[in-house]
Structure 1
Amino acid sequence: MTTHGDQDAVVGSAPVTVGDVAQDPSASGAGTTGRSTRPVRYAVGMFGTSIPINMFTAFMAFFYIDELGMDGRAYAAVMAVYAVIDAIDNPVYGYLSDRTRTRWGRRRPWMIVAAPVLAISFILFFSPPTGLEGATLIVWFAVFTVLTGTSDSLVNANYGALLPELFRNERRRAVANSLRQGFQLVAMIISVALTPMITDAIGYSRTAMIFGAVAAAVIIYCALGAREDPRALSADQPRLLDSLRVIVTNRKFWLIALTSGLYSAGMALVIAAVAFFVKYTLELPGTSATYLLATVIGISALCLVLWTRLVRRWGPEPIWRIALIVLALALASMSLANSLATAIACGALVGLGYSGVMATMDLIVARLLDEDTARTGVRREGMFLSAFGFFNRLNAFVKSLGFLAVAALFGFHSGDDTGTRPDEAARFLLSTFPFILVACAAILSRFVRFDRGAAAEILPSVTVGDPAGGAGDEVAEAAAIHRPGTDAPGTDDAGPPGPPGRADDVPRPRP
């Protein structure tokens, strides 16, 4: 393994060594064509992946429990089983993705195959045959919950793994991540905030048809434009047991995974509870949920640029912790909302905190992946991200606990059997339970620390000044980061070089 100084000496002239793997800087790290992936082409994929799954997670409970009259306890039981299946399939898909070797790359073929499966499953989920009730309705719900969830897992296991591979320099990576989070927020405005109005006009089934078709087209468009690193095809395939050992023995993985899982579970419950909150607590028409959701998502979009600037100035770690604290306090404030105006005011604070976590969460994960590659010389983004997905997908289990809790505490079982305190049940789902989850995430984030330095940032293996795809600037920035004493763009996270002769030192980006 080379030291920090060794890497400085060979940029643009000789093979760059990361871990134990020699990398030729004259070869393109962007794909077989020698061109880098445009950040916007990659980022738009988040729009495609978010359109169906946001409507799915936000309105599945309201559609089946309130609209179709399915018992909330049956919903909770199905979601508990689904959570286990969905958590297990993530590592499987990540392992398959890391080991895939085709002329079209490792990740792209899976995305292209999974996209239409996701669209069809999603459409059928919101299109149950007329007259289904009782056990047959539960079976339909269960089958298409699993199919929609597992196809979404397959898409995202591969889409997420592309971020650290396509964008090696952290400055460029932050731009790509900011763009894709922006696309996600646009998707949320359409598939979450506007869905109550759209479904009121054309119904859930037709809405799902439109969203599903758009999602499949955008995901395939993104996949076809991704320039995967050809060196990954010739690199050693990660072994399952070795990868599992590396992951489960990594302390930072557990801390980040638990933090991410708690945060995502809290926000998933918030989004699922908005329709109930508007109907039972605020006693307003369902379309009023659009205003509340639009506020949260709109403020998130507006604040994303601010958070991104803070990340580039101070690094993702401290900003990530601050954002989690802001989000937890904002969720607590939702318990005070008793009108649409106060709910919108509190929702704006939720949007502020939510935007900050969105701007930082994936960058924290990417730093961990860089650190692992620097240590081992093996690329296993799919396995790592799917292991994170294991925890994030457990939010379905946490959601089931939330609905079981309101059934036990408030007697709320379905739209036909709401109990005597449906307003308090909805407030518990929207504010109390999510606050507890996100507060725990904020506490755990305090224990995540990365080593200082620059070796965790893997240099792109393209020639400095290479005109192909404009990748030369990225390499110049990366080279500047690895040279102490330079003042070039992209050096926000630069730190002092590690002590000479310490080949096993992992650098620590500035906190």
Structure 2
Amino acid sequence: MTDPKVAARSVPADAHAAPPAAPALEPPGPPTLAGTRPWRYAVGMFGTSIPINMIKGSMILFYVDILGLDVRVYGAVMVVYAIVDAIDNPVLGYLSDRTRTRWGRRRPWLVVGAPLLAASMIGFFSAPTSLDGIGLVIWFAVFAILCEAFDSMLNANYGALLPELFRRERARAAANSLRQGFQLLAMVLSLAVTPLLTTKVFGTEETTTGFTITAILYGAIAVVAILFMAFSAKENPHYAETARPRFFTTVGQIVRNPRFWSIGIAGACYTSAMGLVLAGLQLDVRYSLGLPVSDALFLQAAVILISVLGLVAWTRVVRRLGAALTWRLAFVVLAVSFIPLFFANGLVTAILAGILVGVGYSGMLATNDLIVARVLDDDAERHGEHREGLFLSAFGFFGRLNAIVSGLALASLAWFFGYESGDAPGAQPDLAFRFFLCVYPFALCVIGAVLARFIRVPDGVAEQNEDAAASTQDVLARAADEVDG
């Protein structure tokens, strides 16, 4: 699963390579395409979030702590998987941008990708308990890569619809807030409720049956939500009339855009930090707090509930201060929140600290995607092509660094604290997961906050064009009234 709005517009380093005059992308139109309701689009986030959050939130517990996969092997697999995923992401986005069908550019990919992701997730959590050694490594690697590839397919297409369906800043901010709200609801299910379902309702803390049953249940829910969204969203047919983007030309223009690197790296700091939180929370509850894994339900539920409430508040802050300033502020709040979490010594103190994490997290949710959408608008205005899929997938390259960060962070627990797996936790597993859950995310967010401080975010190009068009229409209407008079 970032941030939105305005700041001063700067000229990118590759401005001289851009066309001298921005071509007209489309005639002025309504801020939201007819037939597309924000909540119908937003509900898709519920479907795309459930599978990947269960995977990222339970994969270490499932493979390392229960099945006994060595953390160093886990780290190596994550590095390889991240490299593969960083390569296939731009390809998937490129193919999506070039797709031309009677059903639209994005819908076919969403319809195909939903059941494939669900099936891959079920396979991921169905590893036979008899597997060990190289067999376990291969099973883990294959299904991890498949899950991330189909998740990338879905999110490249789903994310590309946001700037297309909602052209005005207010409509876009509202749709983004709704979809982030649905993401938080999905997190309640796929993160907070999952430990209860997998270790209490359908299985135990030492068995894997509960994970398989839960994956089947979540997969069915995700497919229904994604398909409902896919058949409800009305894509803009004008976008399909533009020239198909060329892969190497587009990639060259993207990598020469300084905003791609600055905003991408800053965003990766935030997503990597939260990725560590998702991956390590259940084991932090087990080792650092000394509680059953199922008690993670209370901590996760508290954080998500605060995030839901905070999302409303941060959206109002965005409207008052603008996306860029709010984005920078949220980075600082999120970084600071990890300090009290490190010192939590019980469920109550962990929940209190988690509330602050939820505040900072909701601020990033309310702003980060809007910042990225501004970059997409600016690119389309300058180059005259709608290639949101490839551009978002290129941004996804930085998101794929999460897997490398998570893998290296987990492997470091073996080097620094002696934690190798559930079978060999070492002498300080409690301190190990305090570092994993708090120190590493804090450092990442500090880096992101410093970078964000110096980033200049593009102006709202689409918003400016539509406002100008509306002003022109008002003038013409008044002139017509005077003539009629």
Common fold by TM > 0.5: yes
C-alpha distance in 2, partners of 1:449/1:223? Answer: 34
Aligned to 2:212: 205
Pairing 1:21–2:12 present: no
Aligned to 2:395: 388
The partner residue of 2:442 within 435, 445, 453 is 435
> Contact between 2:268 and 2:399, CA under 8 Å: does it hold in 1?
yes
The partner residue of 2:461 within 455, 458, 474 is 455
| Letter of the structure 1 residue corresponding to residue 228 of structure 2 | Y
Aligned to 2:156: 157
The 5 A counterparts of 1:136-285 are: 136-200=135-199, 201-202=201-202, 203-285=210-292
Identical pairs, percent: 53
Q: 1:458 and 1:165, CA in 2 relative to 1: closer, same or farther beyond 3 A?
A: farther
C-alpha distance in 2, partners of 1:232/1:160? Answer: 15
Q: Could you say which structure has the higher helix fraction?
A: 2
Shift of 1:242: 1.8
C-alpha distance in 2, partners of 1:447/1:380? Answer: 27
Shift of 1:169: 0.4
Shift of 1:256: 0.6
Question: Paired residues, what number?
Answer: 447
The partner residue of 2:428 within 416, 421, 425 is 421
Shift of 1:183: 0.1
CA deviation string 1:459-478 (max 9, x = no partner)? 57xxxxxxxxxxxxxxx898
C-alpha distance in 2, partners of 1:313/1:69? Answer: 50
C-alpha distance in 1, partners of 2:97/2:474? Answer: 32
Aligned to 2:108: 109
> Contact between 2:285 and 2:295, CA under 8 Å: does it hold in 1?
yes
> Contact between 1:36 and 1:166, CA under 8 Å: does it hold in 2?
no
C-alpha distance in 2, partners of 1:109/1:298? Answer: 34
C-alpha distance in 1, partners of 2:27/2:363? Answer: 37
Tell me the SS of whatever aligns to 2:461.
coil
Q: 1:157 and 1:310, CA in 2 relative to 1: closer, same or farther beyond 3 A?
A: same
Pairing 1:343–2:350 present: yes
TM-score, normalisation: structure 1: 0.84
C-alpha distance in 2, partners of 1:386/1:482? Answer: 37
Bigger CA drift: 159-168 or 330-339? 330-339
Shift of 1:70: 1.3
Q: 1:458 and 1:132, CA in 2 relative to 1: closer, same or farther beyond 3 A?
A: farther
> Contact between 1:459 and 1:478, CA under 8 Å: does it hold in 2?
yes
Shift of 1:227: 0.7
C-alpha distance in 2, partners of 1:69/1:370? Answer: 47
| Letter of the structure 1 residue corresponding to residue 281 of structure 2 | V
Tell me the SS of whatever aligns to 1:394.
helix
Unmatched tracts of structure 2, length 5 or more: 1-20, 203-209, 476-485
Q: Which has the higher contact order (CA 8 A, sep 6+)?
A: 2
Shift of 1:457: 2.9
| Letter of the structure 1 residue corresponding to residue 22 of structure 2 | G
Tell me the SS of whatever aligns to 1:457.
helix
The partner residue of 1:364 within 343, 360, 371 is 371
| Letter of the structure 1 residue corresponding to residue 463 of structure 2 | E
Pairing 1:404–2:411 present: yes
CA deviation string 1:316-348 (max 9, x = no partner)? 100000001000000122111111111111100
TM-score, normalisation: structure 2: 0.89
> Contact between 2:377 and 2:462, CA under 8 Å: does it hold in 1?
yes
C-alpha distance in 1, partners of 2:180/2:36? Answer: 17
Tell me the SS of whatever aligns to 1:23.
coil
C-alpha distance in 1, partners of 2:444/2:146? Answer: 27
> Contact between 2:25 and 2:381, CA under 8 Å: does it hold in 1?
no
Q: 1:71 and 1:189, CA in 2 relative to 1: closer, same or farther beyond 3 A?
A: same
Instruction: Provide the aligned C-alpha RMSD in A.
Output: 2.0
Aligned to 1:466: none
| Letter of the structure 2 residue corresponding to residue 133 of structure 1 | D
Tell me the SS of whatever aligns to 1:449.
coil
C-alpha distance in 1, partners of 2:312/2:473? Answer: 26
